């Protein structure tokens, strides 16, 4: 990893930035990587989730005793199942296992999908809507999240401004729980295969 490291987001254990690629390792191969504004996460081939960088608001999902080491990759112990993928938003993180979807970090816009009274989660929490349901893909914008279910349905939640949740002109409000994006059903799309997310839009 390389670039700005003021919050430890490239995992080198120090504050200085890296102008060239530097190896970051936890002793096993990495299968998935995602970066937020000031934090990063990766998943190893054996399903371990590691986070590092800015530790404010619980976006790393680490226990209190682990926070001193936030400038280096730390194993997220709050998820016992093997993690298959991870996505980092501006201030939140989403992790996928075989049967659940976990969110943690800032949730003031609903980007955690945990309901209206969860504005911050310092440890991973499973999202009720996706319990025992397989998730194909997850992506995060600055303050919103998009999830594709195993049967190809697209759900969005979080900051509804600028229409980035894809719910139409009649609904630009924040969504605090996963909400089905119905536009693809209208146009007879059989299944959504992949999704990408920007800060203010979702292609």
Identify which of 122, 121, 82 has the alpha carbon closest to the alpha carbon of residue 100.
82
Q: What is the mean pLDDT of residues 85-94?
A: 97
Q: Which two tokens stand for residue 192?
A: 């959504």
Helices marked H in 91-180 — which ranges? Answer: none
Asked if 96 contacts 86 with a C-beta cutoff of 8 angstroms, the reply is: yes
How many other β-carbons are positioned within 10 Å of the β-carbon of residue 83?
A: 25
The tens digit of pLDDT for each residue in 50-89 reads: 999 999 999 999 999 999 999 999 999 999 999 999 999 9
What is the rounded distance in angstroms from the CA atom of residue 88 to the CA atom of residue 90? 7
Q: Which class is domain 30-186? A: mainly beta
Q: What is the mean pLDDT of residues 194-201?
A: 49
Identify which of 111, 34, 126 has the alpha carbon closest to the alpha carbon of residue 80.
126
How many other β-carbons are positioned within 10 Å of the β-carbon of residue 129?
A: 17
pTM listed for this prediction = 0.89
The tens digit of pLDDT for each residue in 156-173 reads: 999 998 888 988 776 678
Q: Which two tokens stand for residue 13?
A: 């254990």
Q: Are strands 74-75 and 49-53 parallel, antiparallel or unpaired?
A: antiparallel
């Amino acid at each position: 990893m390389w670039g700005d490291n003021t919050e430890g987001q490239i995992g080198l254990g120090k504050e200085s930035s890296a102008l060239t690629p530097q190896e970051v390792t936890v002793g096993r191969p990495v299968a998935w990587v995602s970066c937020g504004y000031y934090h990063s996460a990766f998943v190893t081939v054996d399903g371990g989730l590691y986070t590092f960088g800015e530790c404010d608001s619980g976006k790393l999902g680490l226990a209190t005793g682990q926070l001193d080491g936030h400038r280096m990759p730390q194993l997220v112990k709050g998820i016992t199942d093997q993690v298959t993928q991870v996505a980092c938003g501006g201030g939140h993180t989403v992790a996928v296992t075989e049967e659940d979807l976990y969110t943690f970090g800032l949730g003031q816009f609903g980007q955690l999908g945990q309901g209206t009274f969860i504005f911050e989660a310092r440890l991973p929490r499973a999202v009720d809507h996706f319990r025992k349901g397989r998730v194909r893909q997850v992506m995060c914008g600055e303050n919103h999240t998009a999830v594709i279910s195993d049967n190809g349905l697209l759900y969005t939640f979080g900051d509804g401004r600028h229409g980035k949740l894809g719910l139409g002109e009649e609904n630009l409000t924040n969504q605090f729980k996963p909400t089905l994006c119905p536009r693809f059903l209208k146009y007879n799309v059989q299944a959504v295969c992949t999704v990408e997310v920007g800060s203010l839009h979702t292609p």
